[in-house]
Amino acid sequence: MADADIQPIHTVARLLGLRASAIRYYEERGLVEPALRLAGRRWYSPEQVRRLAIIQYWQAYGLMSLEEIADVLAGPKATRGWAEIIEQRITALDEQLREIAGARDHLRHVLSHHENSAPDGCEHYEARLFNGLQARNRTP
């Protein structure tokens, strides 16, 4: 019954909505390995499929780079900064949530107040636009 769960690359790819080439690429980058190779061909166990799903999930919308995912998946044994990476990510995601919500409201505003004009040249923008700026310019 255990062997029935093991799947070839295209099956996994189709299940996850990935291309086989992407899976091979993840392997090349050290993120995942097939459970087994038969005559050179890759076979994946449910465990690896889950791992691929995690990779895909974390990587969606560019939330984490493959390298960061690799670090996190390697776990505490391999990476000193494991928890730190995740904490940083959480902070970054919170920031990102605020930014995106702001951008969305901003677009809603454009839609409701500027139906007959290009969206630039409106004073309503100023505040939001340049608030963001001040935040960004603290660093450089």
Instruction: Name the site residues for a copy of itself (rule: CB under 8 A).
Output: 15-17, 47, 50-51, 53-54, 57-58, 60-63, 72-77, 83, 86-87, 89-90, 93-94, 96-97, 99-101, 103-104, 106-108, 110-111, 115-121, 125-126, 128-130, 132-133, 136-137, 140
Q: Which does 100 bind (CB under 5 to 8 A by kind): DNA, a copy of itself, none?
A: a copy of itself
Distance of CA 129 to the CA centre of its chain: 26
Residues in the chain: 140
The three-state secondary structure class of 120 is coil
Reading the block at residue 53, the tokens are 């799903």
CB nearer a copy of itself, residue 8 or residue 96: 96
- Tell the smallest beta-carbon distance from residue 123 to DNA (Å): 25
Q: How far from 63 is each of 15, 58, 71, 76, 118, CA to CA, in Å? A: 22, 6, 14, 21, 31
Q: Does 67 bind DNA (CB under 7 A)?
A: yes
